[in-house]
Each structure stands twice: as C-alpha cells, then as structure tokens.
Structure 1
Amino acid sequence: MEEPNESYIKQLSGDNVEFRTKIISVIKKELPEEITAYKDSIKALKFQLAASCVHKLKHKISVLGMEKSYYLAEEFEINLLKQSTNLQVEFETILNTMLQFVDQLS
C-alpha cells in the first residue's frame, strides 16, 4: 500500500512555514468534508455525483504524493461514470490512509 507523504507540500512551500501551515490547514478541513460528500453520494447510489467527489479527492491524493493511488482513483471515477463500484474498496482504503496521515500533520 502506498503511503502519503509531505514531499509535494514541502516542494510547494519551500522555506515558507506559514504557507505550509496554510496548505495543511486547508487539507485538514476539506478532506473529511469531501470524503463525507463522497460516502453520502455512494450511499444514495448517485454515481455521477460520487464521480465528481472522487475527481475532487484526486487533487488531495496528488498533493499527498500518492501517484499510484491517483491512477486508481482515476479508474474508479471512470467506473462510477459507468454506474460501477469496481475499485470502491481499494479507493476507500486510500481515503482511510489519507485521513490517518492528515490527522497527524501539524
């Protein structure tokens, strides 16, 4: 399983601690909200909306340096647009890994 990391965040922020803190703050706020929206859409079988949520979450996956997971999310988004939940378990494992990582960021 691929692990999230801060490499891209560090690359973006450089030595600017304030900017790094701002990025992390935004991720900590938005990630749980976006995951909730995704789960609500899946629960309601609104696949188009769920695909839109996955599309938004792909940006967080990318920022957290999870390249392989990004491609899996891309495939899952396409599956949802075809009314298929294939790769849902794998995608939700990625989400849980991201949440655990983000929770420990400061």
Structure 2
Amino acid sequence: MEQPNTNYIDELAGDDTIFRNKLINTIKDELPQEINIYKTNITSGNYNATADNVHKLKHKISVLGMEKSYYLAEKFEKNLKDNSTELQKEFEDVLSSIQGFVAAL
C-alpha cells in the first residue's frame, strides 16, 4: 500500500512554513471529524451521505500524496451511490493509514 506523505503540501507551501503549518493543522483538525461522520453514516447504512463523506475525504487523501488511494476512494464513492459497500475495507485501510500519519505530524 502506498504511504501518505507531505510532498504536495511542501510543494504548495514552498518556503512559507506558516502556510505549511496552517495546512497541516487544518488537516489535523478536520480529518478526525470527517472520519467520525463517515463511520456514523456507513454504520447507519446512509450510503448517499457516506458517499458525500468519501468525496470530502478523497481530497485529503490526494493532498497526502496517495494517488492510487484517491482513485480507490473515487470508485468506493461511486459504489456507495449504487448502494454497494464493495471496497469498504480497502478504503478504511487507507483511512487508518492517513489517520496515523496525520496524528504523527
């Protein structure tokens, strides 16, 4: 499985450490909340709302340099819109990976 990284954030921020820190802090603040909302919706079987959650999360996945995982999230989002949870485990593995990475930043 690919690993999250800050390459895109570093490229975007350049030498501006204040901006870099703001980006990272925003991700650190938002990610746990978005994951909790995702878990609530997937558990309750509200797949349309879950698809919206996945849509938001896939952008954070992308920002964390996980291109393959972004496409996995895209497919999972489509599956949810079709009332299918296929790829749920794989997506949640990605969430675990980024959650641990972000917590350590």
Task: With the length of structure 2 as denominator, give the TM-score of the two structures.
Answer: 0.99
Aligned to 1:74: 74
SS in 2 for 1:4: coil
In the alignment of these two chains, the number of paired residues is: 105
For residue 2 of structure 1, report the CA deviation from its aligned partner.
Answer: 0.8
> Which one-letter code corresponds to 1:82 in the other structure?
D
User: TM-score, normalization: structure 1?
Assistant: 0.98
% identity of equivalent residues:
57
Q: CA-to-partner distance for each residue in 1:51-100, whole Å, 9 max, x for gaps?
A: 00000001100100000000000000000000000000000000000000
In the alignment, structure 2 segments of 5+ residues that lack a partner are: none
Whole-Å Cα distance in 1 between the matches of residues 2 and 75 of structure 2? Answer: 16
| Runs of 5+ consecutive residues of structure 1 not aligned to the other structure | none
Q: Which consecutive segments of 4 or more residues in structure 1 shift more than 6 A? A: none
RMSD over aligned CA atoms reads 0.3
Q: Structure 2 counterpart of 1:95, which letter?
A: L
Tell me the amino acid that sits aligned with residue 12 of structure 2.
L
1:95 aligned partner = 95
Q: Which residue identity is paired with 2:77?
A: E
